[in-house]
Amino acid sequence: MKALVKKELGFGNLEIVDVEEPSVGKDQVKILVKYSGICGTDIHTYEGHYKVKAPVILGHEFSGEIVEVGKNVTEFKPGDRVTSETTFYICGKCIYCRSGDYNLCSSRKGLGTQQNGSFAKYVIARKESIHKLPEQVDYVSAAMTEPLACAYHAVAKAIIKEGDVVVVLGPGPIGLLTAQIVKTYGATVIITGLSTDQLRLEKAKELGIDYAVNIQEEDISSIVKSLTDGYGADVVFECTGAISAVNMGLDLLKKKGQFIQVGIFAKSEISIDSEKIIQKEIMMVGSRSQKPSDWEPVLALMNEKRVNAKALVTHQFNISQWDEAYKAIKSGEAIKVLLTPID
């Protein structure tokens, strides 16, 4: 089969390669890929900023149909419509595995990074990672399950009450999904972006987000203060990975506010205004990826039409059109891009 393979580390080195069709293990399922989303980490990997176990087939956000199951698999059958968690291997022994926090297992191997992923016709997944699709969740929506689970994981880090004012920094796919989930809590949601994010800010308004603010044209601080009697936001989700956004978020928070860091920084060492964390007694926490308990709730959110993940899909290409997909993302023309396999 043909697959989109990261052949070597460094910028580029992403090619369509003929690879052997994978065979299913006794505790695994073989999935015919329908759609596979391009994640920010795929972009970082292409650009050489994120290390994977090259050579490896990229792709970890996907939906598909089971075509074969291993001899120990009784929970699923060929024909099942499914999506899968990204976890392919865990140690199963550490305190994180025992508590279901697989995303924190030091031995964890993920699809599309250490194990061949979904930018191909078929992908192999372990049975424990598989989730059947509810009736009202189509394949396009299902390919958005993983990023939606990441957003859900982040929102679960905060205590959000009805009527709270919540700021989401960054209108990328994760920011737009986070904002939608927060809305289900009954909060007032402000999402921010730049002039180059106009398409995404307009999409936020279409999705019912209360305020979509271009911070290059509007005073975000004044808007937040006007909605909070001058106190500041109750919660801030930082979804850009930009240092300037972190410091802006700390400034926008009220005293004893909650700050959740979702975006991944390009550099491991950053400079932030730690004085605000101390003087305002801000509660700051990081959110890494997703874990098993995040998946069924987000499938339910899509099935019940409470979150519209499909609305973020603006472009579809096949895996041989990577260059076009990459340009659409980098230019800001696209919000979310899905890839399809080729024979």
Closest-CA residue to 181 (of 288, 37, 309): 309
Domain 2-132+308-340 -> CATH class? alpha beta
| CB atoms inside a 10 Å sphere around CB 316 | 14
Q: What pLDDT band is residue 268 in, cutting at 50, 70 and 90?
A: confident
Percentage above 90 pLDDT, the chain: 96
Written as six digits, the tokens of 266 are: 């390009």
- Write the pLDDT tens digit of every residue in 197-239: 999 999 999 999 999 999 999 999 999 999 999 999 999 999 9
The residue-averaged pLDDT of 56-64 equals 98
Please provide the distance, in angstroms rounded to a whole number, between the alpha carbons at the two ends of the chain: 7
Burial 129-143 (b: 16+ CB within 10 A, else e): bbbbbeeebebbbbb
Question: Which residue type sits at 184?
Answer: T
Name the token pair of 159: 């205590």
Cα–Cα distance, 330 to 322 (Å, whole number): 12
d(CA 147, CA 36): 12
Would you list the domain boundaries of the chain? 2-132+308-340, 151-286
pTM as predicted: 0.96
Question: 267 falls in which pLDDT band (50, 70, 90)?
Answer: confident
Between CA 176 and CA 200 the distance in angstroms is 8
- The amino acid at residue 57 is I
The b-or-e profile of 30-67 (16+ CB within 10 A means b, else e) is: bbebbbbbbbbbbbbbbeeebebebbbbbbbbbbbbbe
DSSP state of 121: S
Q: What is the spatial distance between Cα 254 and Cα 242, in angstroms, rounded to a whole number?
A: 21
Cβ atoms of residues 147 and 173 within 8 Å: yes
Ramachandran region, residue 187 (left: φ > 0; alpha: ψ -120 to 50; beta: rest): beta
**Which CATH superfamily groups domain 151-286?**
NAD(P)-binding Rossmann-like Domain (3.40.50.720)
* Alpha carbon distance 211, 232 (integer Å): 15
User: Looking at the predicted structure, is the pLDDT value of residue 8 above 80?
Assistant: yes
Q: Are 284 and 259 in contact (CB under 8 A)?
A: yes
How confident is the model over 37-63, as a mean pLDDT? 95
Fold agreement (2-132+308-340, 151-286)? no
pLDDT digit string (tens) for 139-169?
999 999 999 999 999 999 999 999 999 999 9
Q: Rounded to an integer, what distance in angstroms lies between the CA atom of residue 148 and that of residue 86?
A: 13
Residue with structure tokens 């795929």?
42
Instruction: Specify the residue for token string 């926490």.
Output: 285
